[in-house]
Amino acid sequence: MHRFANPARFMRVSGVVLPWLAGATIVLLAIGLFLGFRAPADYQQGETVKIMFIHVPSAMMAMFGYSSLALASAMALIWRHPLAEIAAQQTAPLGAGFTAICLVTGSLWGEPMWGTWWVWDARLTSVLVLFFLYLGYIALVHAFDDPTRGSRASSVLALVGAVNVPIIHWSVVWWNSLHQGSSVLSMDGLKMGWSIRIPVLVMALAFTLLFTLLLVIRMRAALLERKIRALRVLEAEAVPSDYSFAAPEASA
Amino acid sequence: MSSFTAIVRRDLRLAFRQGGDGAMAVMFFVLAALLFPFGIGPEPELLARVAAGVIWVTALLAALLALDRMFMTDWDDGTLELIRLSPLPLELAVLAKCLSHWLVTGLPVLAATPLVALMLRLDPSSLPMLMAGLAIGTPVLSLFGSAGAALTLGARRGGVLVSLLVLPLEIPVLIFGVGAADAALSAGAGAAQLAILGALFAFALPLCPLAAAAALRQALE
């Protein structure tokens, strides 16, 4: 794992992998969407059940994103890998994006099904809190004039958040069961047929690839950005050779 | 241990002589809580139903007020560097800061709660549970707040940022604090909720100073 922590090697390897990853993502997404559209409409929910093919994979990515954010942050704090720091920082907006997609699609699905855009259901509430945790992390990364301080502080925050996520989730579940008689979401009791399950699985795989693809692209862009900044600093520091000698003479 | 008490005493003395944070926090708490009758109407039943929640939410917000100054003034004048150089572990110094933050903001809020509860027509039978919940829960707010304050030390717009970071983490405290007060009305006595609040306290007591001290070390680098 440490071998891949070298930014130059990462650029080389990811450059080779990138086209294949992109191709696989596009193919899987196409297959998943095709299967999703072909899937039979639910006898109760009608065509709206197909929102699930976007909703469920993005919910999975929302949680996957936060765990990889915490993992990368731990690696950044323990080994001071510059690449782990970049990975954590680039994961956060992706995770926040998928969380937002999950919330929006859930809301769009809820309106025809439950007759309301928002329900204080335990799962919805937990995902909303997760979204705020992502936003707090992103805000902290960019809050400092010194970028190293921002990335270190946000790594600590990611770990604090990761420890708290299960506690928040269970307290929200408890709160919800106390205040709500029965949850409107009863997916657990609902047996999923294979005609629905296969598209969901394909889409979950496609979204995982999409997440990885976007992460690699973002990490490459961030590395290039750092390189450009370093070159600019070098350029600014490179004083013309005659300047340092000319100045004292002029004053003398 | 003497340096621990020295930090607490110094912070308390500063708070009293400058006469700022503590009075401000409790005034904010009372004023914000008493805005709710204007917002939702003065019907006693309605107020009694929401009183525990209003008190908890405003206590949560009041605990945020002085947070950005928890380490900021010491950081600006170099005291924080000296505290770090002292033989006292930085984690314990953070704990001392949490204790003085709680004494300055949490304790006055706790003392003002019966008055606010009376004005919001809270059912008197649930007042003991509300007070017990606040007594256990407000130190947890100070502990989480110390981690947030340390992480945002030196940040631009640190005051707003610290609320964004800390509020989501404090949701469990809010849930179980209000749960304890509400349970006192129905069948349950609320002991279970208090026990969970105690567990949250026991969990935050060692972990938050650790995180805050790690963040402070980064800030002082």
DSSP string of B167-201? HHHTHHHHHHHHHHHHHTTSSS-SHHHHHHHHHHH
Residue A182 is predicted with a pLDDT of 41
d(CA A62, CA A97): 8
Across the interface, whether the CB atoms of A136 and B151 are under 8 A apart is answered no
Query: A203, A53 in Cβ contact below 8 A?
Result: yes
Q: Which residue of A has its CA nearest to B216?
A: A153
> B15 CB near a chain A CB, below 8 Å?
no
Amino acid type, A150 = G
> A149 CB near a chain B CB, below 8 Å?
yes
> A7 CB near a chain B CB, below 8 Å?
no
> B177 CB near a chain A CB, below 8 Å?
no
- Which of B94, B151, B182, B210 to probe the A interface (max A CBs under 10 A)? B151
Query: A83, A4 in Cβ contact below 8 A?
Result: yes
* Minimum distance, in Å, between the CA of residue A173 and any CA atom of chain B: 10
* Dihedral Cα A96, A92, A66, A71, nearest 10 deg: 170
Give me the residue from A77, A135, A149 closest to B154, CB to CB.
A149
Across the interface, whether the CB atoms of B165 and A140 are under 8 A apart is answered yes
Residue A106 is predicted with a pLDDT of 87
For the stretch B84-109, pLDDT in tens is 998 899 999 999 999 999 999 999 99
**HSE (side-chain half, CA atoms, 13 Å) at A168:** 23
Lowest model confidence (mean pLDDT) among A196-200, A204-208, A230-234, A239-243: A239-243
For the stretch B20-49, pLDDT in tens is 666 788 899 999 999 999 999 889 889 988
For the stretch A31-63, pLDDT in tens is 998 888 887 776 666 777 788 888 889 988 999
- Residues in chain B with CB shorter than 8 Å from the CB of A136 are 161, 164-165, 168
Prediction pTM value = 0.86
What is the ipTM, given to two decimal places?
A: 0.86
